[in-house]
Structure 1
């Protein structure tokens, strides 16, 4: 396992990390989460990603219980959470609880996450989506204050446009506030433009780091959806029904079949190839993996062996297959 700086910060994160979206509480209980976090940690993973909205807060509870059981030194792991969507609606007057980045919501959201995760501070906190109804300066000041108060160490964004990230960074710079350090975008073989084109100037201008999600395109790049939606898969979950059409995209599944041949030549499988492809991008600080069982996590960690095998010739072959289908 290699470690990379998170943007221009001094924080070092493992090139592969482990996230909890979809799986924790829904598919993974505390015992299984503890087992997988321990296996990831033993393999060198030091960053674990979460969000307030995952399983309506229960994902944070599961991860917090796992950390408590593992009794790791707090210096040895990095944990994140994200704010915007809020938790389940409880009344007709909770407009400051959901889909917002206003100060009232953010300053209470961090306290809720700290309580659920049983932590004194959270290393990385993200604005999970942009909020067009709150002035950017208000959001920047609230996120900066989380850090000043010692409740978080670094802050960043997730799925923000380059223009919005730059605006937030410039406001922080102008007022000597804590600047956004990282962005968490979707990035995989079929979703490339934002990371490779839109953010291009930000890497040099602001030192933006990336903690990318969905390297397997929600499972499409595992090859498991070539013949439909298998029982027990992420795509079979009712809460994930919105992604079923994408998972059954005929052209992309045909491309996955071609990628499987390249992966076999390199001594791996298509999931490992897809993760390695993201990992080989020097702009990516860490690639967030998801897993519903230990064997899946162990298999995905095998991407480390494939990363150095992605020569320019291999990358050109991959591009010829995937780039025409990418956005």
Structure 2
């Protein structure tokens, strides 16, 4: 499989980033191991998690990292993988926190759970909007120099604070973010395209969008309110049950029929066709769902397919 390089790094990744929020939530340990075996068995190597996944189960999180750590240790695959995790998210125990003290404590806890000596890509998960950006970057500088983290990235940070971070990096010779994880998909375009795409271009960021399938809506399984009860995550798709949502599903149905594939595959392929997108983040809880992910990098959408999707999703 053709690998892509995360910009300004030596990290080579397959073009789908597996979202580990399902580990310890909708998948137990054995099921998680099975999914990870199948995912990596197809040549994919990029796994995304966070120190707080799945805090909504036990109030503190850590289950996802623990499962990935056990799996990596049992399979001996650490050197074949690119592992991303995050710091700064809110739990019942603490609020958003990207202070130096919290980062230095959290990185050691993540390393312990992941049973590894380094994290390839370490994200500022959420911005506490209080900590000076220089302090956060100084913490990252310390853990990069200690060999605990290779590169840093940003997720839920305002465009203003993101720019300020780059200015502080340049001024103080501190590490720079190499990647951005925004909310972006066919149903959620404006926020990224208007506010973050120019920054991604200016600062040479690789982009890994989360909720790539709009909480499962772009799979086509939620077409009415009655469908929302089909899964634990169904309620997240409610807001897309509108005229725009139906137009996007209609376009996905038409294109997936034309290419003999699934709507989810088409939706991911649309993301991969966007010039700034390096690898969409997406989860799967079954072998059939994995197959739709595996098919996305192989699907070459034609110009009229892209035009139809762009028109429906504007």
Please say whether Structure 1 and Structure 2 have the same fold, judged by a TM-score greater than 0.5. Answer: yes
Tell me what 1:94 maps to: none
Tell me what 2:70 maps to: 65
How big is the alpha-carbon RMSD for the aligned residues of Structure 1 and Structure 2?
1.8
Report if aligned partners of 1:30, 1:63 keep a CA contact under 8 Å in 2: no
Report if aligned partners of 2:122, 2:149 keep a CA contact under 8 Å in 1: yes
| Residue correspondence of structure 1 range 61-100 to structure 2 within 5 A | 61-72=66-77, 74-89=78-93, 97-100=94-97
Report if aligned partners of 1:185, 1:211 keep a CA contact under 8 Å in 2: yes
Q: 1:314 to 1:257 in 2, by over 3 A?
A: closer
Tell me what 1:93 maps to: none
Partners of 1:244 and 1:42 in 2: how far apart?
31
Partners of 1:244 and 1:17 in 2: how far apart?
21
Tell me what 2:57 maps to: none
Tell me what 1:252 maps to: 245
Report if aligned partners of 1:225, 1:253 keep a CA contact under 8 Å in 2: no
| Residue correspondence of structure 1 range 1-327 to structure 2 within 5 A | 1-21=1-21, 23-55=22-54, 56-72=61-77, 74-89=78-93, 97-227=94-224, 228-231=226-229, 233-236=231-234, 241=235, 243=236, 245-249=238-242, 251-306=244-299, 308=300, 310-323=301-314
Partners of 1:25 and 1:17 in 2: how far apart?
18
Report if aligned partners of 1:34, 1:69 keep a CA contact under 8 Å in 2: no
Partners of 2:153 and 2:10 in 1: how far apart?
15
Q: CA deviation at 1:205?
A: 2.8
Indicate the SS of the match to 2:62.
helix
Report if aligned partners of 2:251, 2:308 keep a CA contact under 8 Å in 1: no
Structure 2 gap ranges (5+): 55-60
Q: CA deviation at 1:199?
A: 2.5
Q: CA deviation at 1:274?
A: 0.3
Partners of 1:52 and 1:271 in 2: how far apart?
28
Structure 1 gap ranges (5+): 90-96
Q: 1:60 to 1:247 in 2, by over 3 A?
A: farther
Higher relative contact order, chain-length normalized (CA < 8 Å, sep 6+): 1
Indicate the SS of the match to 1:212.
coil
Aligned pair count?
307
Report if aligned partners of 1:57, 1:87 keep a CA contact under 8 Å in 2: no
Q: CA deviation at 1:60?
A: 1.0
**Which range moves more in the overlay, 42-51 or 251-260?**
251-260
